[in-house]
Amino acid sequence: MGSKNKLKRFKENETFDNVFQPTREELVDAQYKLKGNWRSSVFKNDNPLVLELGCGRGEYSVELAKKFPKKNFIGIDIKGARFWRGAKTAIEENIPNVAFIRTQIELVDVVFAENEVDEIWITFPDPQIKYKRTKHRMTNSQFLKRYKTILKPEGFVNLKTDSEFMHGYTLGLLQGEGHEILYANHNVYKQEGSPEEVTSIQTYYESQYLEQNKPITYIRFKIK
Ligand SMILES: C[S@@+](CC[C@H](N)C(=O)[O-])C[C@H]1O[C@@H](n2cnc3c(N)ncnc32)[C@H](O)[C@@H]1O
């Protein structure tokens, strides 16, 4: 994407009611005003809150929002020019139960309060295969601790990926740390049993992997 196009999207994001771009100061220097108040201030209801971390263009957030109108969805990504697509679609199609936040996933426990979140989706994260990149892997022990803080006790995480490494790493870590694996599937389009929302929605990255005939894997788990 050209820089002109990106700038246009950044400008447009600032005008969208469904886009939130907290500054570092707002997050770090004081308690963020929406922390603990996402349902009441933004969605104006008491429905369950579902996050998509590293949402890219926001396909999952938008499609889940259409499928589940009685739940609220928030896509999070550091790249505003990407989720511009999802935010724009939500406005054009009048989908009120989806929003987007431009921030780092490392800050989820600053943006959301304890027990504020019902469910998390992690869709096609960068697997960060190199050992030195372990700290950036979105299912490492430190990230799981952050997710546990914001999730309700009965809350759970969905991981959908094309990376066998990420699938195996996460299963191993979950078992090693004693978390609860609710469901696992190593090839969601070939091995039956995946929830409908796993096979009926494809993200941008997913469609590229499917063209290469790569198996797509899925894990649903609870953090203890
Ligand atoms: C491989 S892409 C997948 C995007 C989308 N989920 C999909 O399937 O098409 C990973 C996304 O995560 C975002 N991301 C990676 N690390 C992040 C971080 N620490 N904080 C916020 N976003 C991050 C990137 O900007 C990118 O959009």
Tell me how far the alpha carbon of residue 165 lies from the centroid of ligand 1, in angstroms: 17
Question: Is the CB of 83 within 6 Å of ligand 1?
Answer: no
In terms of pTM, does the model score above 0.95? yes
204, with CB counted inside 10 A (0-12, 13-18, 19+), is: middle
**Ligand 1 in reach of 105 Cβ (< 6 A):** yes
Expressed in angstroms and rounded, the spacing between residue 56 Cα and the centre of ligand 1 is 5
Mean pLDDT of the chain: 96
Q: Is 143 in the pocket of ligand 1 (CB under 6 A)?
A: no
Q: Are 204 and 224 in contact (CB under 8 A)?
A: no
- Tell which one of 126, 159, 165, 188 to mutate to probe ligand 1, the residue whose CB is within 8 A of the most ligand atoms: 126
Q: Is 126 a catalytic residue?
A: yes
Query: In Å, what is the CA distance from 41 to each residue of 45, 46, 88?
Result: 9, 10, 21
Residue 166: which pLDDT band, with cuts at 50, 70 and 90? very high
Active-site pick, 77, 109, 126, 162: 126
What pLDDT is attached to residue 29? 75
Predicted confidence band at 28 (pLDDT cuts at 50, 70, 90)? confident
User: Which residues contact residue 31 at a Cβ distance below 8 angstroms, ignoring those fewer than 6 apart?
Assistant: none
For the stretch 64-74, pLDDT in tens is 999 999 999 99
